[in-house]
Structure 1
Amino acid sequence: MKILLVGAGIIGTIYGGRLAEAGHDVTMLARGRRLTEIASDGLRLEDVTTGRHSHVQVGAVETPAADERYDLVMVAVRDRQLADVLPIIERVGGTPDILFLLNCPLRVNELVERFGSERALFGFPGAGGVRAGTTVRYSAVRQQPTTFGPVAGQGDGKARSLAKLFDGAGFGTSIVPDMDAWLKTHAFLIAAICGALYRNGGVSAKLATDREGLALLRRGVREGFRCLRALGLNPLPMKLRLLVSLLPEPILLHSLKKFFSSKLAEFAIDGHATAAPEDMRDLADDCRKMIAMSGVEAADMQRLCSYVDNYAAGADHER
Structure 2
Amino acid sequence: MRYIVIGAGAVGGSIGGRLAQAGHDVVLVARGAHRDALREHGLRLVTPDGTRTHALPVVGGPDEIELRPDDVLLLAVKTQDSVAALDAWSLRAVGDSTAGESLPLICAQNGVEGERLALRRFRRVYGMCVWLPSSLVEPGVVAAPCTPYTGILNLGRYPAGADDTLRRIAADLEKSTLLAPVVPDVMRWKYAKLLANLANAVEAVAGPLVSPEARVLVDRARAEGTAVLDAAGIAYADEAEQEELRADRVDVVPLPGAPRGGGSSWQSLSRGTGSIESDYLNGEIVLLGRLHGVPTPVNETLQRLADSFADGHRPAGSMTLAEVAALLDAAG
Q: Identity over aligned residues, as a percent?
A: 21
Q: TM-score, normalised by structure 2?
A: 0.74
Give unmatched runs, 5+ long, in structure 2.
Answer: 96-101, 245-252, 270-274, 317-332
Change in 2 beyond 3 A, CA 1:313/1:168: same
Report if the CA contact (8 A) 1:38-1:60 is conserved: yes
Asked if 1:218 corresponds to 2:219, the answer is yes
Report if the CA contact (8 A) 1:17-1:45 is conserved: yes
1:280, 1:66 → 2: CA distance? 31
* Offset, 1:168: 0.8
Change in 2 beyond 3 A, CA 1:234/1:158: farther
* Offset, 1:54: 0.4
Residue of structure 2 in register with 1:279 after alignment: 276
* Offset, 1:215: 3.1
Residue of structure 2 in register with 1:183 after alignment: 190
Among 184, 203, 210, which residue is 2:208 paired with? 203
* Offset, 1:46: 0.9
* Offset, 1:157: 4.7
3-state secondary structure, aligned to 1:174: coil
Report if the CA contact (8 A) 2:5-2:26 is conserved: yes
Q: Counterparts of 1:232-247 in structure 2 under 5 Å?
A: 232-237=233-238, 239=240
Give unmatched runs, 5+ long, in structure 1.
Answer: 244-261
1:241, 1:302 → 2: CA distance? 26
Report if the CA contact (8 A) 2:200-2:266 is conserved: no
Residue of structure 1 in register with 2:154 after alignment: 147
Amino acid in the other structure paired with 1:4: I
Among 123, 129, 134, which residue is 2:128 paired with? 123
Report if the CA contact (8 A) 1:281-1:312 is conserved: no
* Offset, 1:27: 1.3
- RMSD (Å), alpha carbons: 3.3
Give a deviation string over 1:256-292, Cα, whole Å, max 9, x none: xxxxxx979x966625342224424322222211221
Among 59, 62, 65, which residue is 1:61 paired with? 59
2:295, 2:88 → 1: CA distance? 40
Residue of structure 1 in register with 2:174 after alignment: 167
Change in 2 beyond 3 A, CA 1:73/1:269: same
Looking at secondary structure, tell me which structure has more helix per residue. 1
Tell me how many residue pairs correspond in the alignment.
Answer: 289
Report if the CA contact (8 A) 1:3-1:72 is conserved: yes
1:313, 1:33 → 2: CA distance? 21
Amino acid in the other structure paired with 1:214: R
Report if the CA contact (8 A) 2:125-2:157 is conserved: no
Q: Counterparts of 1:1-319 in structure 2 under 5 Å?
A: 1-47=1-47, 49-50=48-49, 52-62=50-60, 63-66=63-66, 68-90=68-90, 91-94=92-95, 95-116=102-123, 119-127=124-132, 128-132=134-138, 134-141=140-147, 142=149, 144-155=151-162, 157-191=164-198, 193-197=199-203, 201-205=206-210, 208-210=211-213, 213-237=214-238, 239=240, 270=262, 272-277=264-269, 278-282=275-279, 283-305=281-303, 307-309=305-307, 311-312=309-310, 315-316=313-314
3-state secondary structure, aligned to 1:74: strand
Segment of structure 1 superposing worse, 122-131 or 16-25:
122-131
* Offset, 1:241: 8.2
2:236, 2:243 → 1: CA distance? 10
Change in 2 beyond 3 A, CA 1:97/1:234: same
